[in-house]
Copies of this chain bind each other. A is one copy, B any other.
Amino acid sequence: MTRRIVVGLNAVIFAVRDEDARVLTVDTPAASRTRGSAGAGLPSLPSGPFDPAHDRTLELSLRSWVRQQAGRDLGYVEQLYTFGDEGRDPRERAGGPRMLSIAYLALTQDLPEAEAGGRWMSCYQFLPWEDRRAERLPVLDAIRAALWAWAAKAGDANEQAQRGERIEICFGLSGAGWDGYRVLERYELLYGAGLTHEAWSDRGRSPPRAAPLFGKPMAYDHRRILATGLARLRGKLRYRPLVFELIEEQFTLAQLQRVVEALSGLRLHKQNFRRLVGGGGLVEKTGRIEKRTGGRPAELFRFRREVLRERRAPGVGAL
């Protein structure tokens, strides 16, 4: 009845560079590696303790240890989700305390080359199926094949149909098409179908030979947390001007578009994007010009703050 609870804070910190959505990772301390993946130094999300004696609020606590570890202040921060399933951290097993993690989403624009073993890695190494900017994505075909095989293995016809429906909705095979927002649902579907490393290592087993496993694994349930963060970010991009937290103060429309594409994992129609952000009042000209475009020089824009008063849902909607 009086098992101890330890509360940790996790941060999913996003940045964009070189047309790539990146997340800050750290090396997992060897002492706390998961069993099934022992020896593999898996990346994990930055995390720190919540100290109930000193931290006045959860967010301040997060900001303070990130400042200490990364040597810089976070800009935009919002709470994501609290993860508390039994067994999500192997340190619980040996009669240890129950581990809760409160995850936060954070956005930053310049990438400080992180100290203390931190590394900026592309999100899409961990969730490769989420990047649909390329014309053809071989990994998606492989995933679909593996998922259909899993659906076919279901016990009764009813469950087969249910699995099929989930696959269609999650991976955009039905009339609705691909929904960039369903990042977490897709990860959980793959996990449930035994198509991620974590699905096996969490149960202390090693995957069957020749089993297809998709994406690089992370330690603990951190890939799930990353998926939660990316889903939230993509969702909110539609109706809040979050992009501007991730880009310099002045930018060309092409730069802005590339950042949005990197985050949404989709290619956008250039002229319509320009109409959307320009006509929608989301950005305004600065009058200055950027010449290093390779073609015609581009005008520099900045975020137009007044849009917050004018539009109900100022974002790059309809991804």
Interface residues of A (CB under 8 A from B): 1-7, 50-53, 55-58, 79, 81-82, 84-86, 97-98, 100, 102, 165, 168-169, 174-177, 179, 308-313
Q: Judging by beta carbons under 8 Å apart, are B102 and A82 in contact?
A: yes
Asked whether A312 lies within 8 Å of B53 as measured between CB atoms, the reply is: no
Q: How far is the CA of A5 from the CA of B168 in the complex (A)?
A: 43
Residue of B168, B169, B309 touching A174 (CB-CB under 8 A): B309
Q: Tell me what chain A mostly uses at the interface: helix, strand, loop, or mixed.
A: loop
Q: In the complex, A79 Cα to B102 Cα: how many Å?
A: 12
* A-B pairs with lowest CB-CB distance, top 9: A52-B98, A174-B309, A3-B53, A58-B84, A175-B310, A3-B52, A176-B312, A82-B82, A56-B86
By the criterion CB–CB under 8 Å, are B311 and A176 in contact? yes
| A198 nearest CB across to chain B (Å) | 17
Q: What are 20 inter-chain pairs, A to B, with CB distance below 8 A? A: A1-B51, A1-B53, A3-B52, A3-B53, A5-B7, A5-B50, A52-B98, A55-B86, A56-B86, A57-B84, A79-B81, A82-B82, A174-B309, A174-B310, A175-B309, A176-B309, A176-B311, A176-B312, A179-B312, A179-B313
